[in-house]
Amino acid sequence: MDENRFDYLVNALNEYEGVEETFLLNGEGDIIFKSGDFPLTNEEAKAILKAWKSKETALMFQNHRFAILKNDDIQLA
């Protein structure tokens, strides 16, 4: 995915209430793109990807618990 496509998707997602931050990870959990300047390290991104891949029900990020919502095509935490 190129940055223009990512920006387009971020703008589309921002139309929904509650969407604050969007990021794209590669298969190893490295950050490719972020929607803004928010604190997310590669280590935290890798933990998010691991939680998603292992189908955990939630993850901890910056001392907050986030539910992992599931859909056939997309997953948002």
In a 13 Å sphere around the CA of 53, the CA atoms on its Cβ side amount to 11
Is residue 22 one of the residues assigned to a domain? yes
Q: Which two tokens stand for residue 39?
A: 């604190």
What's the number of domains the chain is made of? 1
Contacts of 58 (CB under 8 A, 6+ apart): 51, 65, 66, 67, 68
In this prediction, residue 10 carries a pLDDT of 92
Q: What is the pLDDT of residues 17-64, one digit of tens each?
A: 888 888 898 989 899 999 988 888 888 889 888 888 888 888 887 788
What is the rounded distance in angstroms from the CA atom of residue 65 to the CA atom of residue 41?
A: 17
Is residue 49 one of the residues assigned to a domain? yes
Residue 76 pLDDT grade (very low, low, confident, very high; cuts 50, 70, 90): low
Is residue 72 one of the residues assigned to a domain? no
Is residue 28 one of the residues assigned to a domain? yes
Range of the domain at 7: 3-67
Question: Is a pLDDT exceeding 60 seen at residue 77?
Answer: no
Is residue 73 one of the residues assigned to a domain? no
Is residue 76 one of the residues assigned to a domain? no
Question: Is a pLDDT exceeding 90 seen at residue 68?
Answer: no
Q: Which two tokens stand for residue 33?
A: 């793109």
Is residue 74 one of the residues assigned to a domain? no
Q: Which two tokens stand for residue 23?
A: 């990021």
